[in-house]
Amino acid sequence: MAEATRRRGKGRLDDGRLGDRLFDLELDHLPPEARWREWMHRVEATIFAASEPVGRETLAKIVGKSCSIDLLIDDIREELRGRPYDLVAVAGGWKHLTRPAYADAIRAAVGGNEGAVDLTQSEVLVLMCIAYFQPITRGELSSFFGKEISRDLMGHLRGAKLIASGPRSPTPGAPYTYVTTKEFLLEFGLDTLRDLPDFEALEDAGLLSKEKLLAGDISVAQRSEDDPASA
């Protein structure tokens, strides 16, 4: 029985070993240029094969201790400069994404992105407010916009996995707060919340007035009964 167990376990990745063969992270037997090229290939292959953004900790498992992940990524992106896709930092990791210039060609060939989230202008405004002021309660959101933000609107954002429940507020009744999610970062192509545009940029573009938002002067329409997303 023990021998059979050992045979079945052969070939499994365990603490850097592939079966009885050590997975060579350092590649000391290779010349420096060949070593760097192999590390580039490992990183690009791992990111290409993954369905979600691949983080630094994961990539560190397949390259040597002396290897700089950031420099590897820079060199891979340089080689992709003329390609229709790029290696993009998003949601705390890296992911292959096609360049925006080819969006029309992709839609013409395979149709729209079925995974894209359909949001009303009202939902975009509420989501933006959550992103900047999280953790925030539904009551606080209603105060910001001068009109009650419906549970249905919040439910649609939750259903799209763009927001989630945060810690309970210390205010009376201890209502739940809302925060954005990793899916929010993916949907809007952000690496972290620090990549959100600042208010000055939004105001310069005429998209938002911080004073009006905080004063509750921005009207937020609720979903109508004819809007399928309100069902």
Looking at residue 225, its pLDDT comes to 35
C-alpha 74/C-alpha 84 separation (Å) is: 17
Position 14 pLDDT exceeds 60: no
Could you give the 3-state DSSP secondary structure of residue 75?
helix
The predicted model scores a pTM of 0.65
Tokens representing residue 121 in the block: 């202008």
Quickly tell me which residue has 């945060």 as its tokens: 166
Looking at residue 46, its pLDDT comes to 96
Looking at residue 10, its pLDDT comes to 41
| Higher per-residue pLDDT: 187 or 42 | 42
Q: What is the mean pLDDT of residues 205-219?
A: 55
What digits encode the pLDDT tens for the residues 60-117? 999 999 899 999 999 999 999 999 999 999 999 999 999 888 888 888 887 765 556 7
C-alpha 158/C-alpha 160 separation (Å) is: 5
C-alpha distances in Å from residue 22, one per residue of 13, 26, 27, 71, 82: 9, 11, 11, 26, 37
* Beta carbons of 10 and 20 less than 8 angstroms apart: yes
Quickly tell me which residue has 């990549």 as its tokens: 195
Q: What is the spatial order of strands in the sheet that 163-168 belongs to?
A: 136-137, 176-180, 163-168
Contacts of residue 221, defined as CB under 8 A and 6 or more positions apart, other chains included, come to: 120, 121, 122
54-63 LR contacts (CB < 8 Å, sep 24+): 54/93, 54/94, 54/95, 55/92, 55/93, 56/93, 58/93, 59/94, 61/25, 62/25, 63/25, 63/39
